Structure 1
Amino acid sequence: MHTSVYSNSHDATSWNGVQLVDGSEFDAFMEGEVASRLHDKAGKADFTSHLNSLASTGFAQDSLQAILEAEHPEERDWAVGEALAEAWLSREHGVVWPWNMERDKRTPLASLPGADLVGFVTQGSETRLVLGEVKSSSDSNAPPNVMTGRHGMTRQLETLVTDIGLLYTLIRWLQPRCRGNDSEPHFNAAIGLLLQSGNKAMTLFGVLVRDTQPDERDLRNRGQHLGGVVNAPAGCHLLALHLPCSIASLPDRVQGGVS
């Protein structure tokens, strides 16, 4: 489903370009793993089951059906890009997501602040906190504008590794979502390691979703810059995912359409 097109590193930061290949495996990935993340299928199934147990009459069942049919499915291409990044990091890097941020939305088209990616990764006997950002771009420039500037990915990743206030906010958000479930041991191990390292031992991911020809310039200068900012035991991985389709077509592809 993919081929590596470039790979390089500078100190604690690495960058890689990956070309995704069109075909049945890519279709299955989009319609399965990506759709599951985008629509939070596990959370939706639990939600539906719980409400079904409360609808004890035919009238109540009709009322519940009206609520379920009023769902506003996520169709923005950048949101599909985020779900694609999450699914890819789970598949290829073993990242575990303890919580789907779709569950925190208060309005149908909300965009939540903080980090796009919050999870855990286990390497050997060590479990680390994962924080990261995702950008999608059809910009013909290399690097694209979403990588630079005040609100670009590079600046956001710098903030994640240097802003102790933001780190507090993210851990404070994450802790109750891990308490009392399968994610609690990951949380305890990752945050314990973080504290023992002087709040340094975390893994950052910056994922750039592209529908342009692979070009290492998308990541190289940003990777070299972050190599001077992110210090071990922290680690930073920049990843460009080059699509076999346009970013604008992602909502169709995740629904099983080809365009």
Structure 2
Amino acid sequence: MNRIYQHIDSAYRGYDGVSFDEAETGALLSGKVKDALIDRPQRQKMLSMLETLQQDTGFQQSSTLLQDIQALQNEDVDVQTFRVGEALAEVVMQEHFSCRFYWNELRDARNPKGNKTGADLVGFIEIDNQVLFLFGEVKTSSETKSPPQVMTNAEGIENQLRDLYNDPQKRLILISYIQSKLQPVGNEDFKEDFEKAIRTYYQQNAGKYLLYGVLVRDTESDENDIKASYDKLKQDILDPIGLKLLAIYLPIAKENWLKIINGAVNESN
């Protein structure tokens, strides 16, 4: 990863622009991004369960069972491009920006090609040894204009982050959503982060959380992609609430992302 530009107002507020070369991008897409899109851990658990069931007398000839095993063995990904952008954003944020996402939200989708409800990003961020709830939005754009409309239009990142800031009920729903995932996961790190974040959120006179906007681009880098949005948002989203924007630039056209994920191509051509 190469950091192209950066602006820091504090440890909790600022923006970054980062890029990945072609080899890094290919490795991300075919590796951890694909793992997230197919929810590999959950898929493997289900596949193992069905394969074990197949060994039992009376199930070897089940055509439905065989069909579902074959479906799980097929790891081709068929999702909309914005889903790839969301998965890539989470991977980059976890690996490079001290963010943690314990639950694959695609597990909650009844229709894998449909839209998720609520925020795109629901997790935690650690800054200066303090764990905060992270709520955010991800947009993918090839528009040559800077900033692209996905930052500034009615459904863009600017308005979505303002909405999260101005609507405590939406934040409560997201916190309740995170809390509901604690018991099924049984992850002690997850539980510890939640307990720390909820104390920080409700701390009297100093409660805080962090809003994060991520723009995924397959264009040339340009600080204007997020600078103007950050300058506007920091006037509306006030301290002590954290505010960060991140632009991720990839050298491979988004039309080829799924081809790389599915092993159809190895290059940007």
Task: Check whether TM > 0.5.
Answer: yes
1:138 aligned partner, one-letter code: S
User: Structure 1 stretches of 5 or more lacking a match?
Assistant: none
| Cα distance, 1:79 vs structure 2 | 0.7
| Conserved? CA contact 1:134–1:208, under 8 Å | yes
In structure 1, the partner of 2:134 is 130
Where in structure 2 are the equivalents of 1:53-72 lying within 5 Å?
53-55=52-54, 56-57=56-57, 58-59=59-60, 62-70=63-71
Aligned counterparts of 1:250 and 1:205: Cα–Cα separation in 2: 24
Verify the 8 A CA contact 1:200 1:232 in the aligned structure 2.
no
Residues 195, 61 of structure 1: CA spacing in aligned structure 2 closer, same or farther, 3 A cutoff? farther
**Aligned residues of 2:79 and 2:112 also touching (Cα < 8 A):** no
1:141-189, Cα deviation, whole Å (9 max, x unpaired):
1110100122111110111222111011111211110136111221111
The SS at the match of 2:211 is strand
Amino acid at match of 2:22: D
What are the within-5 Å matches in structure 2 for residues 1-259 of structure 1? Answer: 2-10=1-9, 13-23=13-23, 25-55=24-54, 56-57=56-57, 58-59=59-60, 62-70=63-71, 73-179=77-183, 181-182=186-187, 183-197=190-204, 200-256=207-263, 257=265, 258=267, 259=269
**Residue identity opposite 2:229 in structure 1:** R
Q: Which consecutive residues of structure 2, in runs of 5 or more, have no partner in the other structure?
A: none
- 1:197-223: per-residue Cα shift (whole Å, max 9, x none)? 558411222110111111111111100
Secondary structure class of the residue paired with 2:161: helix
Instruction: Call closer, same or farther: CA 1:235–1:197 in 2, change over 3 Å.
Output: farther
The Cα of 1:130 is off from its aligned counterpart by 1.1
Note the C-alpha offset of 1:29: 2.1
Aligned partners of 1:199, 1:151: CA distance in 2, in Å?
30
Q: Is the 8 A contact 2:77 2:262 kept in 1?
A: no
Q: Structure 2 length normalisation: TM-score?
A: 0.87
Q: Give aligned pairs, total.
A: 257
Give the letter aligned to residue 198 of structure 2: I
Give CA deviations for 1:104-125 in whole Å, capped at 9, x if unaligned. Answer: 1112312111100111122343
Q: Aligned partner of 1:252: which letter?
A: K
* Partner secondary structure for residue 179 of structure 1: helix
Identity of aligned residues (%): 30
